[in-house]
Structures are given as structure tokens and as C-alpha cells.
Amino acid sequence: MKVLIAGAGSVGKHMAQQLVQSGHEVTIVDNDPNVVGDKDERSPVNGVTWYLGDACEVTFLDKVGIHEVDVVAAATGDDEDNLVVSLLSKQEFAVPRVVARVNNPKNEWMFTEMWGVDVSVSTPHLLTALVEEAVNVGSLVRLLSLEGGRARLDEVTLAESSPAIGKEIRDAGFPRESAVVAIVRAGHVVVPRLDTVLQSGDEVLVLVSGEGDEADQVVRQALVG
């Protein structure tokens, strides 16, 4: 896939590196000549096309071939810039998938379809979720919101007191709007089937859809009690 990353900070560079390793075609743009100029020394990112310029300019985006990319990642350290890049990508170039980085959680509400954002990633939010996930056994943690909040990825590490233990997934009482997408058991991923029996200590990942969080409450009821 072709990916365009706006912002060659540590986040942007890291993304570029990982994406190139997984075989994607990556273009990275930044308006800081020092960052772009240093590419050989500081960054080990090979196979990445670099451009120096302002990603908030339509003409520049056009020049770097945005009309061919599959994904745009707005990964600068500036929320305003990320929003402008997202909006231009969607509105002017109809990029199928726009991912934007939220720097200040206070701005998160703006990172929606309104500004052309398909998926927003908020580092502080993610950190909170991961910390919660690390310290909490037997409670429901929201790892990720997708589709502007209409779908959520929830995680529960099953405590010994969980009502789901010893039950098969089909009998555990999951609502229709949910799907168990993976179970991490003793460090291994178990592909969930209807007859998979849940055990204490299982990390259960559930994808839940729908407005509001009624379905999440039902999932919580089923897995936490």
C-alpha cells in the first residue's frame, strides 16, 4: 500500500520505518529542512521517499502524489496541522483512509469525519488505556475507538470471579453487537470459536458496535459480572 506521512518527527519516522519493513511504499513530508536533510545520518529509514514542504498546502500535496496514496497519516506534533492535512486529504484528494494523531486530548472531539479523519489516535488516551489494562484484572478497558466511536475495541482480563469462566463463548452472554476477536492466553493468541471455553487469566478482546455504550455494558456484565 502507498502511505503518505505528514510530519517527520519521532512518531512519523518510526511509523515510516515500521511500514517500510512490512513492505509498504512510504512517502514522508516535513517542512523542516533540518529533519529532511538529516535523513541519512539520523534516521535509518531506507526505502522512504522524502519531500521538504508544507503538507498543509494543496499544491504541495498534489506534487508529492497524494492522489495515488491509499492512506494518509497526519502525524505532526501540531493538532491544527493534522486537522488541515486530514481535511485536505479527504476533501481535495478523496484519500480512502485518513489517520490522524491527536496531541492534546482536549482537541480529540474535532478529529472526526467533519475534518476528514477516519481514525484518530490519541497518545495520552492510548497510554491511559494501556496503563489501565496493565493494572486491572477483571475490569473492562476500552483500548480503541473506531469509526468515530461507533465501534470500540474492549479488553477484559478475566478474574477468577468472572461469570464467564468455564463457559463456551456462545453461552457467555455476548450481545449481538459484539464479536470476540481474539483471546490472549498465556502469551499466545487463541482464535476464538463458538465453543472456545474461557479460562481465568484470559485476555479477551471484544469488538463492540453501536451508538452509546449499552452493548459494552452487556459485555461487561458477561465478562466481569
Partner 1 sequence: MGLLRRSKSGTIVDDEPEVEVGQVTPLGELQARQRVRIVGEVARMKTRPGHGIPALTVTLQDTTGKALVVWTGRRAIGGITLGRRLLVEGVAFNRGGTLEFVNPVYTLLPRSASS
Sites of contact with partner 1 (CB under 8 A)? 67, 90-96, 112-114, 116
Q: Smallest distance, Å, CB 155 to partner 1?
A: 27
Q: Smallest distance, Å, CB 110 to partner 1?
A: 10
Q: Between 95 and 198, name the residue whose CB sits nearer to partner 1.
A: 95
Q: Between 45 and 95, name the residue whose CB sits nearer to partner 1.
A: 95
Alpha carbon of 26 to those of 2, 20, 33, 48, 214: distances in Å? 6, 6, 19, 5, 40
Say if residue 82 is exposed, middle or buried (CB neighbours under 10 Å; 0-12, 13-18, 19+).
Answer: buried
Query: From the CB of residue 75, how many other CB atoms can be counted at a distance below 10 Å?
Result: 28
Q: Smallest distance, Å, CB 93 to partner 1?
A: 6
Angle at 12 between CA 6 and CA 17, to 5 degrees: 125
C-alpha cell at 170: 456462545
Q: Between 42 and 67, name the residue whose CB sits nearer to partner 1.
A: 67
Q: Smallest distance, Å, CB 92 to partner 1?
A: 6
Q: Between 50 and 93, name the residue whose CB sits nearer to partner 1.
A: 93
